[in-house]
Structure 1
Amino acid sequence: MPAINLKRAPFVLYGMVFVIVLLGIFQQVFVDTVGIETPLKDLRHISLDDELNLGAWFSSMVMLCIAGLAALIGILERHSSKPQNWPYWMGLAFGFLYMSVDENIGIHEVTIDPLRTAFDLSGALYFAWVIPGAVLVATLGLVYLRFLARVPRKFAILFVISGSIYLGGAIGFEMLGAGFAGSEGYDALGYKIFYILEETFELVGLTTFLSALLTYFGEIHSYAALTFKKEMRAGYVNSEK
């Protein structure tokens, strides 16, 4: 029966992140030194800024994988001897599915102009979506405290670390870069540095979380199996761990 070596997946994922970040840095250096009046234009497809580029595609795919894996774990745990966490796993699944869509079409950006205009925001809050974003993150953090207390300690630590890395980029460096974008424009060196750091932290955080989920699945549900007949079923073979 074909098998997937879950231990190798993180190395492949981190390798892809390294290449994407390296290409993004090259794109910015190329534009700053050579300009855009070349056959290559601005090489936006490998840029780390904005959407519709390699980095956004990779992030979206990782989020989709996280959503699928979280849903599978939720289904398995719902039918296990300890089903308390399955609603949390399904919440993660739906959350990351939404994030995957948002990464491609930028739903959160719809809130920027209305909030900025309504509250006359500038500086670190120039990208105003971080306000509802931070409130949502804080709320979910409180809701998921019980979930973190129930999973094995090493996985709780990994989940918190990966989430902190991701949020450090998505909100932390986003706010730092916003100060430069609002006052000096998008060509400011400070903005360019912080958007590269932002995307790097997001990519590393997502990859770390997916790697942690793969390890969790391999250790906690090592006897899990999928069967495909008229419908897909997730269950265990031999015994349940």
Structure 2
Amino acid sequence: MQLYLTLSPLKLAKGLTLGVVFFTLTSIGVQIGKFVFNYREDWTVMFNVDREMNLPTFYSALMLGFCAWLLSAIASGKQAELEKQKTLSDANDDAPVKYRYFQQWKWLSIIFGLLAFDEVFMIHEILIIPDIADALRLPAFLHSMWVIPGTILVVIFLRKYWNFWLYLPQKTRYHFALAASLYISGALLLEMVGSYITVLENQQNPIYAGMAIIEEIMEMMGVIVFMYGLLVYIREWQQKINIEIKIII
């Protein structure tokens, strides 16, 4: 049995963006109900992008997981190409081995899988410990302490992947750079702004709520741009990816 799945990068990106628009509008509606009409029913939490284990959370996690799958498929294809090139190189000393970056694709797949897991279970929030932040006399914008190791990991990642990024086609470099800018700005920079607001005021105010919505929307749009870039890259690299499904008892 063969299954065929046809994807249009642009149509998929537009469809997913409509989902982001939906969650943006519902989150704004939730905050208006909360701060203007004092409507705080429990069901509204399911549509609030600044809460966990709800519809926006699972939406983001599914997109991250799909990116992880695409990256894994690319890594497998690149590894097969490299093995073929090595075979040709062994048979002909003049045949060069042209591609050496399949490991970077593989690790990107792992990273996005971890991001999807963290999106659901919010592991990074374990490091948000106000008492320790106060004891260390951290500035207000660092009270969400996870941004410190997060920033360090981003710097390490950028250094490790710089040559890989330069090797990519120009169009792919643009998509990946835009995606990273959106995601990192939302996840780190706006998180710092939110921490600053929380220390000066608290989280129960419309300014923080609006900042949190913008933060989450930037993250989701960053993932959509990255997904679009991956699909365009795959389309220009090879139009078909074979999917084998094995059913076992």
Q: Same fold (TM over 0.5)?
A: yes
Per the TM alignment, residue 115 of structure 1 is displaced from its structure 2 partner at its CA by: 5.1
Q: Which of 17, 20, 26 is equivalent to 2:20?
A: 17
Per the TM alignment, residue 193 of structure 1 is displaced from its structure 2 partner at its CA by: 1.9
Identity %: 25
| Residues paired across the two proteins, number | 229
Q: Which has the higher contact order (CA 8 A, sep 6+)?
A: 2
Write the mapping of 1:1-241 to structure 2, written as runs, cut at 5 A.
2-7=4-9, 8-36=11-39, 40-41=41-42, 43-80=44-81, 81=85, 82-113=98-129, 116-228=133-245
What do residues 149-208 of structure 1 show as CA deviations (whole Å, max 9, x unaligned)?
Answer: 111111011101101101111111111111111121111332112111101101111111
Contact residue 57 and residue 104 of structure 1 kept, 8 A: yes
Greater displacement, 63-72 / 213-222: 213-222
Contact residue 71 and residue 90 of structure 1 kept, 8 A: yes
What do residues 83-114 of structure 1 show as CA deviations (whole Å, max 9, x unaligned)?
Answer: 41210111111101111111111111112217
Per the TM alignment, residue 68 of structure 1 is displaced from its structure 2 partner at its CA by: 0.7
CA distance in 1, matches of 2:137, 2:53: 29
Contact residue 176 and residue 229 of structure 2 kept, 8 A: yes
Unaligned runs of 5+ in 2: 86-97
Q: Please list every run of at least 4 consecutive aligned residues from structure 1 whose deviation after the TM superposition is greater than 3 angstroms.
A: 227-231
Distance 1:99 1:5, change over 3 A: closer
RMSD: 1.9
CA distance in 1, matches of 2:63, 2:174: 20
Who is 2:90 aligned against? none
Amino acid at match of 2:31: Q
Amino acid at match of 2:124: H
Amino acid at match of 2:57: A
CA distance in 2, matches of 1:189, 1:18: 19
What do residues 56-89 of structure 1 show as CA deviations (whole Å, max 9, x unaligned)?
Answer: 1111111100111100100001111544121011
TM-score (normalised: structure 2): 0.86
**Bigger radius of gyration, 1 or 2?**
2
Per the TM alignment, residue 23 of structure 1 is displaced from its structure 2 partner at its CA by: 1.0
Who is 1:236 aligned against? none
Greater displacement, 81-90 / 121-130: 81-90
CA distance in 1, matches of 2:246, 2:215: 44
Per the TM alignment, residue 123 of structure 1 is displaced from its structure 2 partner at its CA by: 1.2
Per the TM alignment, residue 6 of structure 1 is displaced from its structure 2 partner at its CA by: 2.0
Contact residue 36 and residue 42 of structure 1 kept, 8 A: no
CA distance in 1, matches of 2:108, 2:75: 9
Structure number with the higher strand fraction is 1
TM-score (normalised: structure 1): 0.88
Contact residue 35 and residue 206 of structure 2 kept, 8 A: no
Distance 1:48 1:221, change over 3 A: same
